[in-house]
Amino acid sequence: MQLTPQELARTIDHTLLKPDGTAAQIEALCAEAVTYGFASVCVLPWHVRRAASIVRDSSVAVCTVVGFPLGATYTDVKIAEAMRCMDDGALELDMVINISALKSGDVDTVLHEIRSLVTSVHDRKGIVKVIIETCVLTDEEKRRMCSIVTQAGADFIKTSTGFSTGGATVADVLLMRDHVGPGVSIKASGGIRETSTALSMLAAGASRLGTSSGVAIVRNLDQ
């Protein structure tokens, strides 16, 4: 896959979601994102306001996570969290599905939750990426989630939180590309640390990458 460093950078959500991440590390993350022209910085809700103040005059968006990392909270809590984050400057919301509901066969709850959050975020011109945590799902459940995310009108389906038993795989990106609707993009996230891995995810059908290794990935493009 032939990309310039600038084109590759525009696919990356430059990410710091560690619970012990400091204000200084968030500031450094944002400075790197502006310098390299990443698509966004992805930070925990507590850091959204700080990140927004740093990237305000750049092309870098602020992304944050909702119901993270387990997804097992109430729909109205997820919506309230998303709205507060948007108040603080987030434009892109990466939500974790209710994995337990899906595993229990309660697909109506999963669909209703995603659709409700999508409606609230889209009303404010935001973007929703739905994290399905592929490493704990069967292939049939992954296919079902592709259908649900499409029905709910979300902007992206995302592989992983990076906090479970595994991250993104090329096989999962290919599966998503085959089963998600044409209006839904794919974000691969979790374990993407090398340029070759990043390029393989993009070649498989991802258009956005979540990684804390964005600087190294872009710098090593021509090596």
In this structure, is the dihedral angle defined by the CA atoms of residues 214, 215, 218 and 220, taken in order, positive or negative? negative
According to DSSP, residue 2 is labeled -
Instruction: Tell me, yes or no, if 94 is annotated catalytic.
Output: yes
Pick the catalytic residue from 78, 129, 142, 187. Answer: 187
Closest C-alpha to 47, from 28, 70, 32, 34? 28
What's the distance, Cα to Cα, between the start and end of the chain in Å?
14
Query: What's the rounded Cα separation, in Å, for the pair 38 and 9?
Result: 5
Query: What's the rounded Cα separation, in Å, for the pair 1 and 94?
Result: 27
Pick the catalytic residue from 13, 94, 155, 172. Answer: 94
Instruction: Tell me, yes or no, if 187 is annotated catalytic.
Output: yes
Instruction: Tell me, yes or no, if 13 is annotated catalytic.
Output: no
Pick the catalytic residue from 78, 142, 158, 172. Answer: 158
State the Cα torsion 79-44-158-167 to the nearest 10°: -140
The DSSP result for 15-84, as a single string, is EE--TT--HHHHHHHHHHHHHHT-SEEEE-GGGHHHHHHHHTTSSPEEEEEESTTT--S-HHHHHHHHHH
The maximal CA–CA distance of the chain, rounded, in angstroms, is 48
95, 66 Cβ separation under 8 angstroms: yes
Which residues are designated catalytic?
A: 94, 158, 187
